[in-house]
Amino acid sequence: MRKGVVVLKFEGVEDINRAELLRNLYVEVEEGDLPPTEEGEFYVYQLLGLKVIGEDGEVVGRVEDMHEWAPYWTFEIETPEGKRVYVPFVSEYVVEVKPEEGIIVVRLPKGYLSQF
């Protein structure tokens, strides 16, 4: 870690020009090699595909993608009607995350879903 950023060195990549060719590519790691998360922290792969429901039990949709849009992460949810809904992954909207049960419980403002 350097200044809060993970720095990796790959065999065969000896200069900055070669390293620049790898910018914005994904690095895959075996799940068993990942450091454990703290309580309330999740890896993106643990959230993808989870069912999203409101506090009232109404199905909002499924998590299709996650976006790191400053200053927070955002869920991209596909609704049962096929619409794309974006919900910030912040405590104001996310009530509970239960990957072991396959669900995320959200509290959305009245009319939030109708704007998509």
* Residue 100 is assigned to a structural domain of this protein: yes
End-to-end CA distance of the chain: 39
Q: What is the pLDDT of residue 9?
A: 84
- CATH code, domain carrying 92: 2.30.30.240
**Domain range enclosing 86:** 44-115
* Residue 108 is assigned to a structural domain of this protein: yes
CB-based contacts of 93: which residues, under 8 Å, 6+ apart? 87, 106, 107, 108
Q: What is the pLDDT of residue 4?
A: 78
* Residue 6 is assigned to a structural domain of this protein: no
* Residue 26 is assigned to a structural domain of this protein: no
* Residue 57 is assigned to a structural domain of this protein: yes
pLDDT tens-digit profile of 10-53? Answer: 899 999 899 899 888 888 889 999 989 999 899 999 999 999 99
pTM for the model stands at 0.77
Whose structure tokens read 């009319």? 111
Task: Name the domain count of the chain.
Answer: 1
* Residue 70 is assigned to a structural domain of this protein: yes
Identify residue 64 by its one-letter amino acid code.
E
* Residue 27 is assigned to a structural domain of this protein: no
* Residue 94 is assigned to a structural domain of this protein: yes
Q: What is the pLDDT of residue 2?
A: 82
Neighbours of 20 (CB within 10 A): 9
